């Protein structure tokens, strides 16, 4: 496949068509006024035909006789033109959405950047909606995403290294970092880790996230994510390395600390007091969501004293006559919630609305009236679900852990809860993401970084970049 092209136009076209046999590969042949033959080869639906006509075909049709490849390059009005020599390059570029231009009598060809794949326009990501602050979000087009980043970081130190991942998909991956800010050698380590994996297709950044993770089997993720360019750029300025994957609206960032997921973009655009209160509330909600179902089961089964007496009377009247034990009841309620959650995501929008009504009213209400499950169980599970979504980036982990806590509380009892918490602490304190402890700045305690953890101090207190990263360039704010 690395063979050189032959000189006649027909043979060149045949070489490409021998590899790209699909019918959506279009060969558009045209002549100049003087009779010089050209052929533009592109993938239908990926290349911009209007621009092809205006920037390529129109100027060449007026060209004089016997214009060479170099001359043709000068005639073209397209700003993105480069030379190509090998058939493999031509095939890759056509598959990528660009146009390959053959000139009769020339063995080389031109690659014209007219890629315009179908995609949506820049919009606010549904999981990171803000009241204050920028609303632009990443989309599936890597070029647009890179543009959104470059728009915010005009520094000459912003480095973008284009990589490919996926044996068959050849997905473009942009490795982005701020030179002189990010830890030395980190981009190279990530690149090496990425290159160590070979897979057919990389449809989303989550694949890349797993490839660059040192412990992909862990319940706890090792990489951060960003769906908005403002957050992504802020992370780069803190010394992280970012990865934008073609076809994915979610960028990956490393190193990662769990505290990142407690922070939200909007925290930095509102008053620090308000942000602090909200962050503490998020952490509280996280623990409530995680532990409340387990504590409720444990309290009912093993330690009824935890529940205040008046509430206990209410619960008692609610659970009397139930055919299920508290643990089975809670287990089933949680199972129903997970099924409803899963179904509501997969179902068409309008069916989903109906499903919500069926799930919430019909199933919930009738199950309580029929005496199958109790009202407190539904309240607790619903509240737990709401609480966990205050930290949406941790939901995958926390919903998994909630099951484990529930099973432990129903079997070992109340003691199982602090025991498992201790286990999680013991596990997490030495876990790392590219040399940065997951629990930093709490363990190990990094005093400087505490100003932007549970607490969000005012802007002037955040003059240093996170010290947990061990950066050489430490200052990010100078107050002159």
Partner 1 sequence: MSKEISVRQICFIMLVYTAVSKFIFYPCELSFGSGRDLLFAAATDFLIQGIIIWAVSYLCSRTDKTFFELIEGTLGNITARIIYGFFALFFILCTVVPLFEQKLYVQDIFYDTVPSLTVFLPFFIFSIYAASKNFRNIGRSADICMPLFFVSMLLIFSMSLFEVEWDAFLPILKTPLKSVFGGSLTTAFRFFEPCWLLMFMGHFKYKEGDAAKITLSYAGGAAFVLTVLLIFHGVYGGAAATRQFAISKISLFFPAIDVIGRIDLISLYVLEVVMIFALVINIQLAVHCLVKCTGYDNRPVFSLIVNGLLILVIVLFNNNLSTIHKMWSNWFWIATLVFANIIPLAAWGLRRRTEQ
Computed from CA positions of residues 410, 412, 418, 423, in that sequence, does the dihedral angle turn out positive or negative?
Answer: negative
Q: How far is CA 349 from CA 143, 346, 354, 448, in A?
A: 30, 9, 9, 46
451 touches partner 1 (CB under 8 A): no
* Interface map 307-326 toward partner 1 (x if CB under 8 A): xxx-xx--------------
DSSP β-bridge partners for residue 164? 172
Q: Are 236 and 242 in contact (CB under 8 A)?
A: yes
303 touches partner 1 (CB under 8 A): yes
Q: Which residues contact residue 336 at a Cβ distance below 8 angstroms, ignoring those fewer than 6 apart?
A: 359, 363
Residue 290: DSSP 8-state: H
Nearer to partner 1, 235 or 282 (CB): 282
Q: Stretches 40-48, 148-156, 306-314, 384-392: which one binds partner 1 (CB under 8 A)? A: 306-314
Q: Are 33 and 52 in contact (CB under 8 A)?
A: no
430 touches partner 1 (CB under 8 A): yes
| Contact residue for partner 1 among 50, 281, 351, 415 (CB under 8 A) | 415
Task: Give me the least distance between CB of 281 and partner 1, in Å please.
Answer: 16
Angle between helices 272-301 and 375-388 (to 10 degrees): 150
425 touches partner 1 (CB under 8 A): yes
Q: Are 435 and 255 in contact (CB under 8 A)?
A: yes
| Contact residue for partner 1 among 277, 444, 470, 477 (CB under 8 A) | 444
Dist CA 294 CA 388 (whole Å) = 14
Query: What is the size of the binding site for partner 1 (CB under 8 A)?
Result: 33
443 touches partner 1 (CB under 8 A): yes
Task: Give me the least distance between CB of 469 and partner 1, in Å please.
Answer: 17
437 touches partner 1 (CB under 8 A): yes
Task: Give me the least distance between CB of 442 and partner 1, in Å please.
Answer: 6
Q: Are 463 and 478 in contact (CB under 8 A)?
A: yes
Task: Give me the least distance between CB of 437 and partner 1, in Å please.
Answer: 7
Residue 176: what are its φ and ψ, rounded to 5°?
-120, 135
414 touches partner 1 (CB under 8 A): yes
442 touches partner 1 (CB under 8 A): yes
Nearer to partner 1, 201 or 412 (CB): 412
Q: Are 398 and 287 in contact (CB under 8 A)?
A: no
Nearer to partner 1, 306 or 353 (CB): 306
Residue 212: DSSP 8-state: S
Residues that bind partner 1 (CB under 8 A): 298, 302-309, 311-312, 412-419, 421-423, 425-427, 429-430, 437, 439, 442-445
């Amino acid at each position: 496949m690395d063979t050189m092209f032959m000189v006649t136009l027909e043979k060149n076209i045949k070489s490409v068509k021998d590899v790209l046999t699909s019918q959506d590969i279009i060969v558009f042949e045209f002549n100049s006024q003087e009779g010089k033959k050209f052929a533009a080869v592109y993938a239908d639906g990926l290349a911009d035909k209007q621009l092809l006509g205006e920037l390529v075909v129109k100027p060449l049709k007026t060209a004089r006789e016997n214009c060479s490849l170099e001359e043709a390059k000068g005639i073209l009005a397209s700003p993105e033109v480069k030379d190509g020599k090998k058939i493999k390059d031509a095939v890759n570029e056509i598959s990528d959405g660009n146009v390959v231009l053959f000139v009769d009598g020339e063995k080389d060809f031109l690659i014209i950047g007219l890629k315009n794949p179908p995609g949506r326009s820049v919009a606010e990501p549904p999981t990171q909606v803000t009241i204050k602050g920028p609303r632009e979000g990443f989309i599936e087009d890597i070029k647009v995403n890179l543009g959104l980043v470059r728009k915010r970081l005009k520094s000459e130190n912003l480095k973008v290294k284009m990589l490919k991942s996926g044996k068959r998909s050849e997905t473009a991956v942009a490795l982005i970092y701020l030179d002189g800010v990010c830890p030395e050698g980190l981009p190279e380590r990530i690149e090496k880790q990425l290159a160590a994996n070979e897979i057919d297709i990389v449809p989303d950044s989550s694949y890349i996230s797993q490839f660059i993770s040192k412990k992909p089997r862990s319940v706890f993720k090792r990489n951060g994510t960003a769906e908005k360019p403002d957050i992504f750029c802020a992370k780069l300025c803190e010394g992280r390395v970012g990865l934008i994957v073609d076809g994915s609206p979610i960028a990956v960032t490393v190193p990662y600390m769990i505290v990142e997921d407690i922070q939200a973009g909007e925290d930095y655009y509102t008053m620090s007091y308000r942000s602090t209160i909200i962050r503490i509330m998020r952490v509280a909600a996280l623990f409530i969501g995680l532990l409340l179902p387990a504590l409720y089961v444990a309290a009912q089964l093993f330690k009824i004293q935890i529940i205040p007496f008046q509430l206990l009377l209410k619960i008692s009247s609610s659970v009397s006559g139930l055919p299920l034990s508290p643990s089975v009841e809670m287990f089933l309620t949680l199972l129903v919630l997970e099924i409803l959650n899963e179904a509501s995501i997969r179902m068409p929008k309008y069916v989903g609305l109906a499903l919500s009504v069926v799930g919430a009213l019909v199933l919930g209400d009738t199950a309580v009236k029929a005496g199958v499950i109790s009202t407190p169980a539904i309240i607790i599970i619903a509240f737990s679900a709401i609480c966990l979504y205050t930290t949406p980036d941790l939901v995958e982990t926390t919903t998994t852990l909630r099951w484990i806590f529930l099973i432990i509380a129903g079997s070992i009892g109340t003691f199982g809860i602090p025991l498992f918490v201790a286990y999680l602490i013991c596990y997490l304190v030495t876990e790392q993401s590219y040399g940065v402890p997951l629990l930093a700045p709490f363990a190990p305690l990094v005093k400087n970084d505490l100003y932007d953890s549970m607490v969000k101090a005012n802007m002037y207190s955040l003059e240093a970049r996170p010290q947990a990263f061990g950066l050489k360039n430490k200052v990010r704010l100078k107050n002159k």
